[in-house]
Amino acid sequence: MAQTNLPVTLVDYRVGNIHSIAKAVERAGTRVTVTDRPEDLLAARCLVLPGVGAFDAVMGQLDPVREALARRLREGVPCLAVCIGMQILYQRSEEGSAEGLGLLRGGVRRLRHAKLPHMGWNTVEHDGDPLLAGVPSGSWFYFVHSYAPGVGASTIARTDYGGAFGSAVRVANTLGVQFHPEKSSDAGRRVIEHFVAMARKVG
């Protein structure tokens, strides 16, 4: 796929490997810059919050720009938030005591299932949000997590593992996914491509 003119800033929390998500977003036709510098995050035209790390560790890295970053997301800067990246969009998590970005009200809780983490393939049910266009409801995606948000007003997809949880949310121009699209074959590739297409229109 041809490169677009849209630069994507991928946030490095310095707590895990982000190579796979960087490559997947590049394959969708973008130019990815990986950074942990606060000034880069606040200047970004398009953000990716990757899915590695624990809630408190990630928020510890983002705390200096927490309020400013949340404000930019509310203002409509396109953002793809994966796994822990999606969880930090909320106000809090049972995983730790740090304050999240608060873009979404409420919190993230430990999954009510005997076997944790929830690791492997599971189905994602949705009602046709454009960011899941071409992905049939009930398609399989890859998960690795022990915490997740409930189903709420911003939920655009749901998954069951010891009870229903929100596996995708959308607020302003932020798309949050609890699954790992970079590990989810064609279905995940479509989600990333739809996000990039949306980001190009608003970026």
From the candidates 83, 118, 145, 193, give the one annotated as an active-site residue: 83
Point out the catalytic residue in the list 118, 126, 145, 180.
180
Q: Say whether 182 is catalytic.
A: yes
Between CA 15 and CA 22 the distance in angstroms is 15
Residue length of the chain: 203
What phi-psi label fits residue 102: left (phi over 0), alpha (psi between -120 and 50 degrees) or beta? left
Q: Which of 126, 182, 193, 194 is catalytic?
A: 182
Q: Please indicate whether residue 95 is annotated as part of the active site.
A: no
Catalytic, 83? Answer yes
Axis-axis angle for helices 55-62, 66-75 (nearest 10): 90
Give the active site residues: 83, 180, 182
